[in-house]
Amino acid sequence: MKIFVGNLASQVNEEELETLFKEYGEVQTVNIIRDMFSRESKGFAFVEMKDKNAAETAIKELNIKKLAVKKLLLMKLARKQIIDVVAAIVEEVAIAIEAAAADTAAAENVGNLFSFKIEYYLSFVCMQFH
C-alpha cells in the first residue's frame, strides 16, 4: 500500500522515514519528493509498505506524530487517484515540452513547471481525502 507523508521537515531523509515505518512492517520503497534543481525536500514523500494491515496500523499510529519538529500527515492513496495525478502531470509536462521546442525561454521553465504541477496535483488529491 502506498502512503502519502505530508508536512515533512526538510531535514528528514529516506533512512529516517524507513526506520520509522519499519517498526510496523516491511517497507518496500521510500521516496521523498525533492526540487529537481536544488534537491531540497518539497515537504512530502511516499512510503510503500508490503502489507496493507501494517500500512494501516502505521497510518493510525504515526499520523500527526512529530518528526523533526513537524507533525506528520499520513494517508493512503488509492491506485486510481495515483494514476489520475500522474496522467495530469504527464499531460501538462507534454504541453510545456511542446512549447519549449518552439521557444528557448520556455525551455528553462519546463523543470519548474513539472515540480509545481506535482505539488499542485498532490495537494488536490490530499484535499479529496479530507
Q: What's the confidence (pLDDT) of residue 1?
A: 87
Q: What are the chain's domains?
A: 2-76 (3.30.70.330), 79-129 (no CATH)
Q: What's the confidence (pLDDT) of residue 34?
A: 85
Supply the DSSP string of 66-125, one letter for each residue: EETTEEPEEEE--HHHHHHHHHHHHHHHHHHHHHHHH-HHHHTTHHHHHHHHHHHHHHHH
Q: What's the confidence (pLDDT) of residue 39?
A: 84
Q: What's the confidence (pLDDT) of residue 28?
A: 95
Residue type, 52: K
Compute mean pLDDT per 10 residues along the chain, 130 residues long, and list them: 84 92 95 84 88 91 71 63 65 68 62 60 55
Q: What's the confidence (pLDDT) of residue 114?
A: 60
> Minimal CA–CA distance to 122: which of 81, 91, 71, 74?
81
pTM of the model: 0.59
